[in-house]
Amino acid sequence: MNSKLEAILERYDKLNELIADPEVIRNMDEWKKYTKELSGMEDVVEKYKELKRVLTEKQDAQNSLAVETDPEMKEFLNEEILSLKEQEEKINGELKILLIPKDENDDKNVIIEIRAGAGGEEAALFAYELYRMYVNYADKHRFKSEEIDSNFTELGGVKEVTFSVIGKGAYAKLKYESGVHRVQRVPETESQGRIQTSTATVAVLPEAEDVEVKIDEKDLKIDTFRSSGAGGQHVNKTESCIRMTHLPTGIVVTCQDERSQIKNREKALKVLKSRLYDYYNTQYQKEYDENRKSQIGTGDRSERIRTYNFPQGRITDHRIGFTLYSLENFLNGDIDEMVEMLAIKDREAKLANEE
């Protein structure tokens, strides 16, 4: 670990020289790239410098102890060495965590897609509750949420909804939500009080930047149409809705949230880029399936990840075996405890894999 830390420190010093170089400053793209890399190293470098300071102090105390003859002073030095050893152990543990490769998508905005699964209207109502849960969660963290496309039912459920969550670190907070969510409850329409199980799928995609996904115009088929849902006279009289098809992959995106065709096209393209980024990443990850065993699971949409049990008021995440008994608050967006526990378990798994 020390050789890796020394290499990081050497690179950190080199980057500080580079961002002060007038030639680099004149090339803003290069300067931004170096400052971003530098920023990503700061926590590790500061912690490593702290470790080096502790090691120096420990060595000095050991050297003093070797020549000390006064009993009281020797006792003091032994206590000092013990304290410094405890600090060394603590810092080494923190450094191991900091050295776990950071997910390059963590700071990005996200595109979330929720679809009703098995269970008919009850599944659609559950899908809407999940949508509301994530919007409330975004509000609590001062993220901005923005609907892109939706298909609501007459009873207030949603067959499918696509929306963005905008804010630094949104993906880091929400990336573990991808998968099948299951609800167990008695529907209002059930006269005999029987519990019904319904599902909804959630996909969380990091918003792709232009430099990450390039789309050739000739690979796109773009159709316009009128809104089929609520929206007033304006929407019904103009073909402002966009259906965008990426011909090589067959991925289709629709957007009818905005009255402006241009704005709908921009939103549809943003979703398409994120889906393509996710698509190509998934293809790549399949080739390295063994590496994914150390992760909690951030991409398998067929994986049943969580059960929301209304009769018992509990939420259980099956990936980590963690249960909360605060269903109402959870569905109102208070999901931080679950999010943090998933992040901790994922970090522990990756740390074990590194060792």
Look up the CATH number of the domain holding residue 323: 3.30.70.1660
Last residue of a domain, one of 98, 118, 139: 98
The whole-angstrom separation of Cα 210 and Cα 215 is 9
Query: How much is the pLDDT for 284?
Result: 52
Q: Which helix (H) or strand (E) holds 254?
A: strand 251-255
Query: Would 295 be classed as within a structural domain?
Result: no
Give yes or no: residues 17 and 119 share one domain.
Answer: no
Q: Which of 285, 311, 336 is where one domain is finished?
A: 285
pLDDT of residue 233: 37
pLDDT value at residue 127? 96
The C-alpha atoms of residue 264 and residue 258 are separated, in whole angstroms, by: 6
Cα angle, residue 203 at apex, residues 265 and 351 outer, rounded to 5°: 130
Structural domain range at position 241: 217-285
Residue 145 in domain: yes
For 247, the token pair is 């011909």
In a domain, 31, yes or no: yes
What length does the chain have?
355
Q: What is the rounded distance in angstroms from the CA atom of residue 153 to the CA atom of residue 151?
A: 7
Q: Let me know whether 11 and 83 are in one domain.
A: yes
Is 166 found in the same domain as 17? Answer: no
72 and 152 inside one domain: no
Select from 82, 74, 75, 92 the least CA-distant residue to 57: 82
Answer with the one of 98, 132, 147 that is the final residue of a domain.
Answer: 98
What Å distances lie between residue 182 and 8, 118, 122, 300, CA to CA?
Answer: 44, 9, 11, 15
Q: Are residues 270 and 315 in the same domain?
A: no
* Gap between the Cα atoms of 157 and 135, Å rounded: 15
Asked if 207 and 306 sit in the same domain, the reply is yes
200, 307 Cβ separation under 8 angstroms: no
pLDDT number for residue 235: 42
Same domain? 280 vs 309: no
> How many domains does the chain divide into?
3
Global pTM?
0.68
Residue for token pair 């060792």: 355
State the Cα–Cα distance between residues 83 and 68, nearest whole angstrom: 19
8 Å CB contact between 113 and 160: yes
292 assigned to some structural domain:
no
- Tell whether 38 is covered by a domain: yes
Phi-psi region of 250 (alpha: psi -120 to 50; beta: other; left: phi over 0): left
Give the other-Cβ count within 10 Å of 32's Cβ.
Answer: 11
Model pLDDT for residues 158-182, shown as the tens digit of each residue: 999 999 999 999 999 999 999 999 9
Give the CATH number for residue 224.
3.30.160.20
Residues 198 and 305 in one domain: yes
User: What pLDDT was estimated at residue 40?
Assistant: 85
The answer to whether position 325 is within a domain reads yes
Is 224 part of any domain? yes
Does one domain contain both 166 and 305?
yes
- Residues 77, 37 share a domain: yes
Residue 104 falls inside a structural domain: no
Q: Distance (Å, rounded) from C-alpha 214 to C-alpha 226? A: 29
* The predicted structure's pLDDT at residue 238: 60
**CA–CA dist 250, 222 (Å, integer):** 13
Could you say which residues of the chain have pLDDT below 70?
189-191, 209-212, 227-239, 257-258, 283-302, 354-355
310 and 162 belong to one structural domain = yes
pLDDT of residue 293: 43
Same domain, 55 and 195: no
